[in-house]
Amino acid sequence: MKSGTSMSTPFVAGIVALLKSLHPHWSPAAIRSAIVTTAWRTDPSGEPIFADGSNRKLADPFDYGGGVVNSEKAAKPGLVYDMGVNDYVLYLCSVGYTDSSITRLVRKKTVCANPKPSVLDLKLPSITIPNLAKEVIITRTVTNVGPVGSVYKAVIEAPMGVNVTVTPSTLVFNAKTRKLSFKVRVFAIE
């Protein structure tokens, strides 16, 4: 049986086309967010996913990425993590691209802030903190694409040895409020 990127790419491309036809105003980042945040972390029948090449190690996000794509849920994700050109420019600054390289890429004069922004500030639905040595506070902004009066509550599954809190733990949207931010506080437990 074939698996992996070469098999998933055509399926995901079809799902992206479907989502773009349903939501023509969504950015590529919003579409990616919808796919990743609605994916299953088990197989479609609810059974655990095992790491590739192992029938004993349960897979984790580093093994399965976003998970098993659920196209039906991706069409109605509720919340999306959206990004624009400036967010990508900040990311390029954070990973060390020079002002001139970024200027050539985006065709607009760019000067990275000093100190440079943190790679942790990239507006993605996932958070990876290499070498967590001290408390880290990360801000994320989400856009409600669900019903107008939607309410979302944080559910935390912290890795062993790590404490995670989300503030506010509940996001309440209304007709005037489509975007809200929250902070994620992460620190190692000694």
R_g over Cα of the chain: 18
Peptide bond into 130 cis (omega under 30): no
Distance CA 156, CA 119 (A): 22
Same domain, 187 and 162: yes
CATH number, domain containing residue 171: 2.60.40.2310
Q: How confident is the model at residue 56 (pLDDT cuts 50, 70, 90)?
A: confident
Is 96 found in the same domain as 65? no
pLDDT in tens, 94-136: 999 999 999 999 999 999 999 988 989 888 998 889 889 889 9
- pLDDT of 17-45, one tens digit each? 999 999 999 999 999 999 999 998 888 88
pTM higher than 0.85: yes
Q: Is the dihedral of CA 28, 29, 30, 35 positive or negative?
A: positive
Residue 12 shares a structural domain with residue 73 = yes
Average pLDDT of the chain, as a whole number: 91
* Number of domains forming the structure of the chain: 3
- What pLDDT is attached to residue 79? 97
Residues 63-83: tens digit of each pLDDT = 878 888 999 999 999 999 999
Whole-angstrom Cα distance, residue 61 to residue 51? 10
Q: How far apart are CA 147 and CA 40, in angstroms?
A: 22
Please tell me the distance from the alpha carbon of residue 89 to that of residue 106, in angstroms, as a whole number.
8
Residue ending a domain, among 119, 140, 169, is: 119
> Percent of the chain at pLDDT above 90?
66
Domain endpoint, select from 55, 78, 101? 78
What are the CA-CA distances from residue 152 to residues 40, 120, 182 (Å)?
Answer: 19, 23, 12
Same domain, 100 and 62: no
Same domain, 164 and 103: no
Range of the domain at 53: 5-78
